[in-house]
Amino acid sequence: MNSKEIRAQFLDFFETKKHKIVPSAPMVIKDDPTLMFTNAGMNQFKEFFLGNSVAKSPRMADTQKCLRVSGKHNDLEEVGKDTYHHTMFEMLGNWSFGDYFKKEAIEWAWELLTDKLQIDKDSLYVSVFEGSKDSDNLEMDNEAYELWSGIVPKDRIIMGNKKDNFWEMGDQGPCGPCSEIHVDIRPAEEKAETSGAFLVNQDHPLVVEIWNLVFMQYNRKADGALEPLPEKHVDTGMGFERLCMVLQGVQSNYDTDVFTPIIREIETITNADYGKNEEIDIAIRVIADHIRAVAFSIADGQLPSNTGAGYVIRRILRRAIRYGFTFLNTKEPFMYRLVNVLTETMGNAFPELKDQRQLIENVVKEEENSFLNTLEQGLVLLDNLVSKAKGKVVQGRKAFELYDTYGFPIDLTALILEEKGYTLDEKGFHEAMKEQKDRSRSASEIAKEDWMVLSDDSEQEFVGYDLLETNVKLVKYRKVTSKKEGEQYQMVFNLTPFYPEGGGQVGDKGYLEAPNGDVVYILDTKKENNEIVHFAKNLPKSTSDTFKAVVDKKQRQRTAANHTATHLLHQALREVLGNHVEQKGSAVHSKYLRFDFSHFSKMTVEELREVENFVNARIEGQLPLDENRSVPMEEALKGGAMALFGEEYGETVRTIRFGQSMELCGGAHVKITSDIWHFKIKSEGAVAAGIRRIEAITYDAVKDFYFHNNRSLFEIKDLLNNAQNPVNAVKALQDENAKLKKEVEQLLKDKAKNLKGDLLAELKEVNGIQFLAKKVDLDAAGIKDLSFEMGNNKNNLFLLFGTEQNGKALLSCYISKELVAEKNLNAGTIVRELGKCIQGGGGGQPFFATAGGKNPAGIEEALSKAEEYLN
Ligand code: SER
């Protein structure tokens, strides 16, 4: 079976068991502060487990793109070194939301593996949670044990501890005991020697976990306590690549058809052979794995960057580039050339790869170029460190600087040092690293108290499309403390007119008013999971009151104008530049809007004007907002609405339309386009390879913009003596200026010529030397020209010029070359000594040197000392 068939078999099987097959959620998570990337198939269903919302179907199954590179589940450092860990992988999963439980989950898993997929029963082991004696004090999972005992011999059931058999998504959230299924694919003779039961969970490459059946029963709270969930659920996850390994009869995930086409391409590009040398093999596996993680993230809209999720992606890519650089000798960008084969292998199951191929290639190539430069610079800096190292040990702190400032990886530093016969002070490196981590942790550290729940009203309705003011009741609140913001309170209401940050749009601000007139300001509004959280510096005095919640109307109007303008801008760009334009990011603030989009060259002035005209024509056209708050997703797509990759949409969506084009959007918009007033682009530039950014303003920001420009124009006109046509007046001034400049240059040349004649006449002989020491009114370059010109006319010259420029003193000494040799004179030594008179220093060559100082009053003294010196 090829991998495509295996994926289909899994989904078909669960479809026959009445599961709804759903699409993978995006791999990059945008609105959950506790998680950067999807790290398990269940992430998108977290709210169903917690009972915060109800699933449309009680049984679901899918294949989910996962990335385990940060937080609780982080496999990054394993990847490449072994044959069965990945950064990005597919997790096949089936779920029950308060529906079936352990019995069905166990029986169906067994049926699929042994009956449908025909995996030899004798190669399978299962594990069961043994309980824990710690503060959680959990009982052994007897139910699972009994169920498994009816299916497999007892010696194939392994009892497992909390680390292996109690699954938790993160520090908080749904969790529960689990049963894992492991497969032993060792050759028969090895099996005969040692039972696989001893090798389960022992990091043996051929005795690996393939499926984890989690029985969700608890919620881990912020304070660490376990709270039983209102209902019991099933969450299973099977490693797709590992399943392919077993079914395709190979001994490494990288030998399955998921990876072999990529590996063949790496071999072709780098001339390396896979399977001959362990170091080279590791490098090839790292590259084959990492290109998937990076390509899928970019397709999901997450570009490499210097912060957050973008930084994680950049580090993954750099890890791969470095392995190539060190072990495969790749000194040119090459990873971008793998995107094609990846798209051919996975593009059918994940069409976003096909659609975003060009962009992924461009971004990866640019990242490669810039990191290869860094690597080269780093090598130079490293040479420098080596030359300064005492006793063949390079200081750890210095290596840390190289890592921190230039992104130069520490293992590469260690490797290069080793080749040169040096060692690295690793202790110093780790100390410096720890200090930095402590610094950044304490800057952002957040302590969250548990929610104080006042009512069980779990339907938090957003009413802010229609109302900017309404009465609300507090449902729950908690205190959060961070270094950055200090103490704050977060509040959730039964309903709210406040728009939570999302879809690029900033959160609303405003205030709460208590019946006695007390006011609490709402500083920001954000979405956390499915709840709308309001941030404030303090709590209302009586939390049980009914409050008037009032959104800052002006801010909302401005933001709405910018949001609608963003949609019109998107349309305009597709119209003016072409349909390759896709949104790559947007930020809708009250003061401005920012829009990132795919396009490959700088926009011309004409194009920018056309785009502005397009948008302004629609503003003048007074197009009313035509919205539909609940359209089934499929219908919206059929109607031509464009969904963005990497955005998650529910079953029903809100569509909005101004004129022709229909879009999916949950944000705040104007009721009619004329409310935007006017649209003005302020800048256009590049943000990454193939991605441009426009910043623009609307509404009263445009008024301010024109007001300031107009005022400047009046001031300019005023300076131009009230010229009727200031443009012509400025042009005339520029012409006149150019003419005057030329005249001045000529005059200066003439002056220098005259000066040279005068000064040659002033020379006097001192000890057989033609000597002159004089203060002149020329700048440094002028003095230099003058000195060398005089030198062309006279031999045996010793010139010392002093000048005062902008309150600073300059000395300049010229000595004919024959004097330098015969009399052993050195201009450099002389100016250094004379520089003391002007409180400065200097140097240069024996025949010409200069000194600068801050005391012009000392120039005369220096000049007279020169003659004394020659005497
Ligand atoms: N959530 C579990 C895991 O990730 C099972 O899906 O292993």
Beta strand pairing call for 808-815 and 797-805: antiparallel
Domain boundary among 231, 258, 285: 258
Going from the Cα of 236 to the center of ligand 1, the distance in angstroms, rounded, reads 6
Closest approach atom of ligand 1 to CA 213: 5
Distance CA 257, CA 124 (A): 23
- Is 293 inside any structural domain? yes
> Does residue 179 sit in the same domain as residue 159?
yes
Distance CA 216, CA 712 (A): 66
> Does residue 251 sit in the same domain as residue 272?
no
CATH number for the domain harbouring residue 160: 3.30.930.10
Domain boundary among 400, 418, 444: 444
Beta strand pairing call for 59-67 and 20-21: parallel
- Is 383 inside any structural domain? no
Going from the Cα of 238 to the center of ligand 1, the distance in angstroms, rounded, reads 8
Distance CA 782, CA 796 (A): 21
Residue pair 818/846 in contact by the 8 Å Cβ criterion: no
Closest approach atom of ligand 1 to CA 214: 5
Going from the Cα of 516 to the center of ligand 1, the distance in angstroms, rounded, reads 51
> Does residue 347 sit in the same domain as residue 409?
no
Closest approach atom of ligand 1 to CA 237: 6
Protein residue with its CA nearest to atom 4 in ligand 1 = 40
Q: State the DSSP string of 323-388.
A: HIIIII---S--GGGGHHHHHHHHTTT-THHHHTHHHHHHHHHHHHHHHHHHHHHHHHHHHHHHHH
Going from the Cα of 237 to the center of ligand 1, the distance in angstroms, rounded, reads 5
Going from the Cα of 212 to the center of ligand 1, the distance in angstroms, rounded, reads 6
Residue from 167, 201, 243 whose mutation best tests the ligand 1 pocket (most atoms within 8 A of CB):
167
CATH number for the domain harbouring residue 488: 2.40.30.130
Domain boundary among 502, 522, 551: 551
> In the prediction, which pLDDT does 443 show?
60
> Does residue 306 sit in the same domain as residue 251?
no
Distance CA 489, CA 533 (A): 10
CATH number for the domain harbouring residue 864: 3.10.310.40
Residue from 129, 235, 240, 242 whose mutation best tests the ligand 1 pocket (most atoms within 8 A of CB):
235
Q: State the DSSP string of 214-271.
A: EEEEEEE-TTS-EEEEEEEEEEEEEEHHHHHHHHTT-SSGGGSTTTHHHHHHHHHHH-
Bridge partners for 521 per DSSP: 511
Residue pair 579/598 in contact by the 8 Å Cβ criterion: no
Q: State the DSSP string of 792-822.
A: HH-SSEEEEEEEEETTEEEEEEEE-HHHHHH
Distance CA 848, CA 863 (A): 16
Going from the Cα of 312 to the center of ligand 1, the distance in angstroms, rounded, reads 22
CATH number for the domain harbouring residue 618: 3.30.980.10
First to last CA, the chain: 101
- Is 734 inside any structural domain? no
Q: Pull the structure tokens for residue 428.
A: 């110093």
Closest approach atom of ligand 1 to CA 39: 4
Distance CA 11, CA 61 (A): 7
Instruction: Give the number of other Cβ atoms within 10 Å of residue 259's Cβ.
Output: 25
Residue pair 829/866 in contact by the 8 Å Cβ criterion: no
Residue from 214, 218, 234 whose mutation best tests the ligand 1 pocket (most atoms within 8 A of CB):
214
- Is 384 inside any structural domain? no
> Does residue 313 sit in the same domain as residue 178?
no
> In the prediction, which pLDDT does 652 show?
86
Q: Pull the structure tokens for residue 585.
A: 């990011």
Distances (CA, A) of 827 to 764, 820, 850, 855: 19, 8, 8, 20
> Does residue 312 sit in the same domain as residue 285?
yes
Q: Pull the structure tokens for residue 530.
A: 């499915």
Q: Where are the alpha helices (DSSP H) in 73-141?
A: 102-110
Residue from 66, 102, 178 whose mutation best tests the ligand 1 pocket (most atoms within 8 A of CB):
178
> Does residue 655 sit in the same domain as residue 591?
yes
Residue from 10, 24, 42, 217 whose mutation best tests the ligand 1 pocket (most atoms within 8 A of CB):
42
> Does residue 272 sit in the same domain as residue 418?
no
Q: What is the DSSP letter of 639?
A: T
- Is 81 inside any structural domain? yes
> Does residue 208 sit in the same domain as residue 320?
no
355 half-sphere exposure, CB direction, 13 A CA radius: 20
Residue pair 172/45 in contact by the 8 Å Cβ criterion: no
Going from the Cα of 214 to the center of ligand 1, the distance in angstroms, rounded, reads 7
Q: Report helix, strand or coil for 129.
A: strand
- Is 381 inside any structural domain? no
- Find the domain containing 770 and state its range: 752-870
CB-based pocket (< 6 A), ligand 1:
40-42, 93, 167, 212, 214, 235-237
Instruction: Please give the tally of structural domains in the chain.
Output: 6
Going from the Cα of 451 to the center of ligand 1, the distance in angstroms, rounded, reads 27
Q: 507-550 pLDDT, tens per residue? A: 999 999 999 999 999 999 998 877 899 999 999 999 999 999 99
> In the prediction, which pLDDT does 33 show?
66
Residue pair 250/211 in contact by the 8 Å Cβ criterion: no
> Does residue 231 sit in the same domain as residue 295?
no
Going from the Cα of 338 to the center of ligand 1, the distance in angstroms, rounded, reads 30
DSSP strand E in 27-172: where?
59-67, 69-70, 73-74, 88-96, 124-129, 157-160, 166-168
Ranges in the chain, pLDDT < 70: 31-34, 71-72, 440-445, 458-459, 644-647
> In the prediction, which pLDDT does 31 show?
66
Closest approach atom of ligand 1 to CA 91: 6
Closest approach atom of ligand 1 to CA 93: 6
Closest approach atom of ligand 1 to CA 73: 4
Going from the Cα of 290 to the center of ligand 1, the distance in angstroms, rounded, reads 22
- Is 720 inside any structural domain? no
Protein residue with its CA nearest to atom 6 in ligand 1 = 237
> Does residue 240 sit in the same domain as residue 307?
no
Going from the Cα of 169 to the center of ligand 1, the distance in angstroms, rounded, reads 8
Residue pair 493/549 in contact by the 8 Å Cβ criterion: yes
> Does residue 508 sit in the same domain as residue 569?
no
- Is 84 inside any structural domain? yes
Closest approach atom of ligand 1 to CA 169: 1
Residue pair 562/549 in contact by the 8 Å Cβ criterion: no
